[in-house]
Chain A
Amino acid sequence: MANALPVEISTTIQSLIAQHKNMPGALLPLLHAIQDTIGYIPEDSYLPISKGLALSVAEVHGVVTFYHHFRTHPVGKHILHVCRAESCQAMGSEKLEASIKAKLNIDYHQTTSDGAITLEPIYCLGNCACSPAVMMDDEVYGRMDNQKMAELISEARAS
Chain B
Amino acid sequence: MIKVFVPRDSSALSLGADRTAKAIQQEAQKRGIEIQLIRNGSRGLFWLEPFVEVATENGRVAFAPVQPKDVAGLFDAYFLNPDSSMAKAHPLNLGLTEELEWLKKQQRLTFARIGITDPVSLNDYLAHDGYKGLANALKLSPAEIVKTVTDSGLRGRGGAAFPTGIKWNTVLGAGEKGVQKYIVCNADEGDSGTYSDRMVMEDDPFVLIEGMTIAGIAVGANQGYIYLRSEYPHALHILNEAIAKAEAAGYLGDNICGSNHTFKLEVRRAAGAYVCGEETSLLESLEGKRGLVRFKPPLPAIEGLFGKPTVVNNVISLATIPIILDKGAQFYADYGMGRSRGTLPIQLAGNIKHGGLVELAFGATLRELLYDFGGGSYTGKPIRAVQVGGPLGAFLPESQFDTPLDYEEFSKIWAVLGHGGIVAFDDTVDMAKMARYAFEFCAIESCGKCTPCRIGSTRGVEVIDKIINGTDVEKNTKLVRDLSDTMLNGSLCALGGMTPYPVLSAMNHFAEDFVPKPKSALKKIIDIVSA
Contact = CB atoms under 8 A, between A and B. Distances in A.
B349 A24 contact: no
A153 to B, nearest CB: 16
B108 interface: no
A66 B425 CA distance: 32
B14 A142 contact: yes
Contacts of A85: 192-193, 391, 441
Interface string A33-67: 00000000000000000000100000100110011
Nearest to B182: A24
Contacts of B269: 28-29, 32
A142 B387 CA distance: 21
A8 interface: no
Contact of B271 (A70, A87, A123, A130): A70
B324 to A, nearest CB: 25
A129 B288 contact: no
A131 B356 CA distance: 12
B268 A31 contact: no
Nearest to A60: B288
A18 interface: no
Interface string A5-33: 00000000000000000001111110110
B382 to A, nearest CB: 13
Contacts of A138: 233-234
A31 B273 CA distance: 15
Interface size class of B (residues with CB under 8 A): 35 or more
B195 interface: yes
A156 interface: no
A77 interface: no
Contacts of A75: none
A128 B192 contact: yes
B51 interface: no
A110 interface: no
Contacts of A117: none
Given A125-B231, A126-B198, A129-B46, A87 B286 contact: no
Contacts of B11: 126-127, 129-130, 140, 142
Given A24-B306, A91-B350, A130 B231 contact: no
Interface in A52-107: 53, 59, 62-63, 66-70, 81, 85-91
A131 B269 CA distance: 24
A89 B193 CA distance: 11
B13 A86 contact: no
B347 interface: yes
Given A85-B192, A86-B437, A90-B425, A28 B271 contact: yes
B328 interface: no
Most chain A CB within 10 A, of B15, B190, B434, is at B15
A150 interface: no
A62 B350 CA distance: 35
Contacts of A86: 192-193, 350, 387, 391, 423, 434, 437
A90 B268 contact: no
A126 B189 contact: yes
A59 B351 CA distance: 43
A159 to B, nearest CB: 16
Nearest to A55: B288
Interface string B284-303: 01111111000000000000
User: From DSSP, what is the main secondary structure of chain B's interface residues?
Assistant: mixed
A139 B423 CA distance: 23
A8 to B, nearest CB: 25
Contact of A127 (B14, B197, B271, B290): B14
Contacts of B286: 25, 28
B193 A128 contact: yes
A130 B355 contact: yes
Most chain A CB within 10 A, of B47, B234, B289, B356, is at B289
Contacts of B231: 81, 122, 124-126, 135
Interface string B166-192: 000000000000000000000001111
Contact of B347 (A25, A31, A129, A133): A129
A140 B10 contact: yes
B356 A129 contact: yes
B14 A128 contact: no
A87 B423 contact: yes
A68 B349 contact: no
A47 to B, nearest CB: 17
B3 to A, nearest CB: 26
Interface in B329-359: 347-352, 355-357
Contacts of A87: 192-193, 349-350, 421, 423
17 contacts: A25-B286, A29-B268, A31-B271, A63-B288, A66-B290, A68-B272, A69-B230, A86-B193, A87-B192, A126-B195, A128-B347, A128-B421, A129-B195, A129-B355, A129-B356, A131-B350, A142-B15
Interface of A: 24-29, 31-32, 53, 59, 62-63, 66-70, 81, 85-91, 122-131, 133, 135, 138-143
Interface of B: 10-11, 13-15, 46-47, 49, 189-195, 197-198, 230-234, 268-274, 285-291, 306, 347-352, 355-357, 378, 387, 391, 421, 423-426, 429, 434, 437, 441, 444-445
Given A67-B291, A89-B437, A129-B355, 17 more contacts: A25-B268, A28-B268, A69-B271, A70-B271, A87-B421, A90-B425, A124-B194, A125-B231, A128-B193, A128-B349, A129-B195, A129-B348, A130-B49, A131-B349, A135-B231, A141-B14, A142-B11
